[in-house]
Chain A
Amino acid sequence: MTEFALILVSTVLVNNFVLVKFLGLCPFMGVSKKLETATGMALATTFVLTLSSIASYLVNTYLLAPFELEYLRTITFILVIAAVVQVTEMVVHKTSPLLYQVLGIYLPLITTNCAVLGVALLNVQTEYNFLQSAVYGFGASIGFSLVLILFSAIRERLTVSDVPVPFQGPAIALITAGLMSMAFMGFSGLVKG
């Protein structure tokens, strides 16, 4: 149990995928202009990340490892992720047409979110078992969601604040992201080793 808690804390805070590992920056900058959009994106990514983490673990252990096809890992993982994203897109289109329109191109682009492939590959690299991979994927997506929602809330405040002209727009957003990243580095003392 402590082990799972450790994985969770580690992925959400200490080794946060966006701010410490710098994976998945595209949706982080792209969909963070409005809080509602960011929340929708966070939910969609949480779903995709957790599911693809589990699915890629299963594919790796039961298909690739027995046939000694580890060299095909990246391409099969991309296949798995693309399929999961496609299903997610269909479900979102059916259940929430507005969210579908708001997320727009960023929904299919979850496929190319490097955090998703990163989680799948890191699962294999660290030799996690089934439950550990699931928790790892879930923790990574919670970390992603947390940071995305925090960032979009800050950006919403930034739009009404008095920013000097040269820093307006993406410049101040990147500076904010950098400051957040530095803040998250403070968590590195939380877990030893």
Chain B
Amino acid sequence: MLSAILVVGLLAATFGIILGFSAIRFKVEGDPLVEQIDKLLPQTQCGQCGYPGCKPYAEAIANESAEINQCPPGGEQTIHDLAELLNLEIIPLNPENGAPTEKTTVVIDEANCIGCTLCIQACPIDAIAGAAKQMHTVIQSECTGCDLCIPPCPVDCIIITPVKHDFKTWQWDKPAMLAENKTDIA
């Protein structure tokens, strides 16, 4: 009787020590899955998905409270990558979040800018340079084309322009992967 208690107690204690040790050794900080999803998102921070930015959207995808088809700037490519990462079906982009468009940036018509700084406050990625009562300008290489600066502008001096490709920025179109086509291939 005594030996039974001792043996099982010893065994339990040993496993307890091993588990306790590995709990510290293999501690996971944060959610690595959120980081992986966040990397696939286009980082426009545009909020078209209904979340304040790409990271919150990534968190929502990770805990399965959001679909993967709410990112218009990423378009089909992002949906495809997310589906691959998360082992989900490829679904078409949710039209409620907007349609995928050609990549655009905004340009400030500098002659009409009154220097109100409203667009600077609206820009999620700090791509607009300027100060109060000074002319503002958009840093083209930083602009993600989220168009969030357009509604606050009181004089409507911000214009959407398609990105012009030169030899350095041109690339092949991304392959179209519609959900309908996918089933034909499979």
Residues of chain A touching chain B, judged by Cβ–Cβ distance below 8 Å, are 34, 36-37, 59, 63-64, 67, 69, 72, 75-76, 79-80, 83, 86-87, 90-91, 93-94, 97-98, 101-102, 160
The 9 closest A-B pairs by CB, nearest first: A83-B15, A97-B32, A94-B26, A90-B26, A67-B3, A97-B33, A90-B22, A87-B22, A63-B7
Q: Which A residues lie within 8 Å of B85 (CB)? A: 98
**Residues 10-34 of chain B: 1 if any A CB is under 8 Å from the residue's CB, otherwise 0?**
1110010011001100111001110
The residue on A at minimum CB distance from B12 is A79
Q: Which A residues lie within 8 Å of B7 (CB)? A: 63-64, 67, 69, 72
For the complex, is B141 an interface residue (Cβ under 8 Å from A)?
A: no
A83-B15 Cα distance, complex, nearest whole Å: 6
Q: Are B19 and A102 in contact (CB under 8 A)?
A: no
Q: Select one of A72, A76, A83 contacting B18, CB under 8 A.
A: A83
The residue on A at minimum CB distance from B35 is A97
Can you list 6 residue pairs at the A/B interface with Cβ under 8 Å? A86-B19, A87-B22, A94-B27, A98-B85, A160-B183, A160-B186
The residue on B at minimum CB distance from A159 is B186
Q: Which B residues lie within 8 Å of A36 (CB)? A: 87
Q: Which B residues lie within 8 Å of A160 (CB)? A: 183, 186
Q: Are B28 and A93 in contact (CB under 8 A)?
A: yes
A83-B12 Cα distance, complex, nearest whole Å: 9
For the complex, is B86 an interface residue (Cβ under 8 Å from A)?
A: yes
A67-B31 Cα distance, complex, nearest whole Å: 46
Q: Are B87 and A37 in contact (CB under 8 A)?
A: yes
Q: Which A residues lie within 8 Å of B112 (CB)? A: none
A97-B85 Cα distance, complex, nearest whole Å: 11
The residue on A at minimum CB distance from B24 is A90
A72-B11 Cα distance, complex, nearest whole Å: 12
Q: Which A residues lie within 8 Å of B22 (CB)? A: 87, 90-91
The distance from the CB of B90 to the nearest CB of chain A, in whole angstroms, is 14
Q: Which A residues lie within 8 Å of B43 (CB)? A: none
The distance from the CB of B84 to the nearest CB of chain A, in whole angstroms, is 10
The distance from the CB of A157 to the nearest CB of chain B, in whole angstroms, is 10
Q: Are A87 and B4 in contact (CB under 8 A)?
A: no
A80-B28 Cα distance, complex, nearest whole Å: 24
Q: Select one of B4, B19, B28 contacting A67, CB under 8 A.
A: B4
Task: List 11 additional contacts besides A64-B7, A67-B7, A98-B85; criterion CB under 8 Å.
Answer: A37-B87, A63-B7, A67-B3, A79-B12, A83-B19, A87-B22, A91-B22, A93-B28, A98-B36, A101-B62, A160-B186
A59-B14 Cα distance, complex, nearest whole Å: 12
The distance from the CB of A32 to the nearest CB of chain B, in whole angstroms, is 14
Given contacts A36-B87, A83-B19, A86-B19, contact A93 B33 (CB under 8 A): no
The residue on B at minimum CB distance from A64 is B7
A167-B178 Cα distance, complex, nearest whole Å: 29
Q: Which A residues lie within 8 Å of B183 (CB)? A: 160
For the complex, is B176 an interface residue (Cβ under 8 Å from A)?
A: no
Q: Are B18 and A87 in contact (CB under 8 A)?
A: yes
